Amino acid sequence: MKKILLLFIIFFNLLYSAEVKELPWPRGETFLTFLDKYAIPNSLYFNLEKEDKELCSEISADAKYYLYEEDDGSLNQVLIPVSEDIQLHIYKDVDNTYKFKTLPINYEEITQSIALPITTSIAYDLKKATGSPMLAAQLKSIYDNTVNFRRMQKGDFIVIKYKQKVLMGRAHSMPEILASMVEVSGKKYYRFKNSKDDKYYDEKAKAFTKTYFFKVPLTYKRISSHFTKKRWHPVLKRYRAHLGTDFAAPRGRKIYAAGDGYVEFIGRRGGYGKTIIINHRNGYKTLYA
């Protein structure tokens, strides 16, 4: 573990002594088109293991990635995040061949509390005070239509205790609200997160979080590969992630939607092959590959 972290730190020190570009991942760009752009052999991708190919399909449009180019415009190294915990690392080795690794994202997690009166709007005031454009959206979602935020006026009050992952001095992923109080027209509304079930409750222990039930999409014999965000592989000596669950079943077995929703995508996606994505309208999507 120490060797991996040391190499990771050396990599960043090397990068930031040179010019590193922070760029949004272009819409429509795939891992293979990125390789083509830098004349990197497609064999780098096709020689990957199944789990790594699937990770290459998880790159999100507009996600920030870090690019270091040589003076001639060729690629030296790039870091591409695919989840909150894992990033793809493509780099030019000493023999001028390109290599692929998965690395952990070493973020810092901080807990903060904020109390402020409303001066303009809840979204504007929270973003100005915390720098996070997502905190207001998170706050509204946990009150689940029990509070009319449009009625908030100047002088109303909010208090929030939350956790935030921070990467290179900036917010990384969505904040997690631990407790909050919203005062509207003199009436106070409380929410407290229970870490045992991840639900929110008020001061009288009444639950306010909707629960969405998903079913296993087939009658299966066994799970052949479990979900894992970040796992150190003792044989390969590197991090591996599997951002899904593989079910092993006889060929021809019927597959069902895990919940109600509408089909958002049908086609092929990188390492997934034939893919269907269902949008469940409540912030969740499921992918079948």
Domain ranges of the chain: 2-104, 108-201, 222-288
12-16, 65-69, 139-143, 257-261: lowest mean pLDDT where? 12-16
* The two domains 2-104 and 222-288 share their CATH topology (first three levels equal): no
Angle at which helices 122-130 and 135-143 cross, to 10°: 130
Beta-strand relationship, 108-117 and 98-104: unpaired
Place 287 in a pLDDT band, splitting at 50, 70 and 90. very high
> What is the average per-residue pLDDT within 109-132?
91
pLDDT of residue 237: 66
Higher pLDDT, 213 or 49: 49
Higher pLDDT, 15 or 59: 59
Place 250 in a pLDDT band, splitting at 50, 70 and 90. confident
Task: For 179-232, give the DSSP string.
Answer: EEEEEETTEEEEEEEETTTTEEE-TT--B---------SS--SEEEE--EEEEE
pLDDT above 60: residue 2: no
Give Cα 32 to chain centroid, integer Å. Answer: 21
Query: Residue 75 carries which DSSP code?
Result: E
pLDDT of residue 56: 92
> What is the average per-residue pLDDT within 127-145?
86
Q: Which CATH number fits domain 108-201: 3.60.110.10, 1.10.3720.10, 3.40.50.1980, 3.10.450.350?
A: 3.10.450.350
Distance CA(197)–CA(208), nearest Å, equals: 12
**At which residue do the structure tokens 């990068």 appear?**
15
Q: Which residues contact 114 (CB under 8 A, 6 or more apart)?
A: 126, 129, 130, 158, 159, 160, 162
CATH level 2 (architecture), domain 222-288:
Distorted Sandwich (2.70)
183-192, 217-226, 265-274: lowest mean pLDDT where? 217-226
pTM of the model: 0.69
pLDDT of residue 210: 64
The residue type found at 286 is T
Q: Which two tokens stand for residue 179?
A: 């407790």
Distance CA(274)–CA(87), nearest Å, equals: 24
pLDDT above 80: residue 8: no
> What is the average per-residue pLDDT within 59-66?
90
> What is the average per-residue pLDDT within 154-178?
88
pLDDT above 50: residue 223: yes
CATH code reported for the domain at 2-104: 3.10.450.350
Max intra-chain CA distance, the chain: 69
